[in-house]
């Protein structure tokens, strides 16, 4: 192998958002995780919504979310506007 081209591979402590920590090896100086086997719903049997970086909020802000009542009201006003335009 060529000398000096490979990154340092050393022992680090990986930490999860739930507080769990364990030793592993990596080229990065530290490792922070959002979910691990101690808090993952598959392993715990508990359901938990994980919304990374507010993706749902970002989508609703960008495209808007309408409930069925809002859609019906929008369709009604559209029909009324079309009827008024015909008169």
Question: Would the pLDDT of 43 be above 80?
Answer: no
CATH fold for domain 10-86: Rhinovirus 14, subunit 4 (4.10.80)
Question: Would the pLDDT of 49 be above 70?
Answer: no
The full set of domain ranges for the chain reads 10-86
pLDDT in the model for residue 46: 72
Distance CA 8, CA 28 (A): 8
Q: What mean pLDDT do residues 26-54 have? A: 78
Q: Are 16 and 36 in contact (CB under 8 A)?
A: yes
Which of 48, 29, 30 is CA-nearest to residue 38? 48
């Amino acid at each position: 192998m060529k000398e000096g081209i490979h990154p340092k591979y050393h022992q680090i402590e990986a930490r999860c958002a739930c507080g769990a920590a364990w030793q592993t090896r990596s080229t990065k100086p530290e490792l922070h995780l959002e979910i691990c086997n101690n808090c993952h719903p598959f392993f715990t049997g508990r359901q938990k919504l994980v919304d990374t970086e507010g993706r749902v909020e970002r989508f609703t802000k960008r495209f808007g979310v309408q409930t069925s009542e809002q859609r019906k009201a929008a369709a009604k006003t559209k029909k009324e506007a079309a009827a008024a335009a015909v008169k």
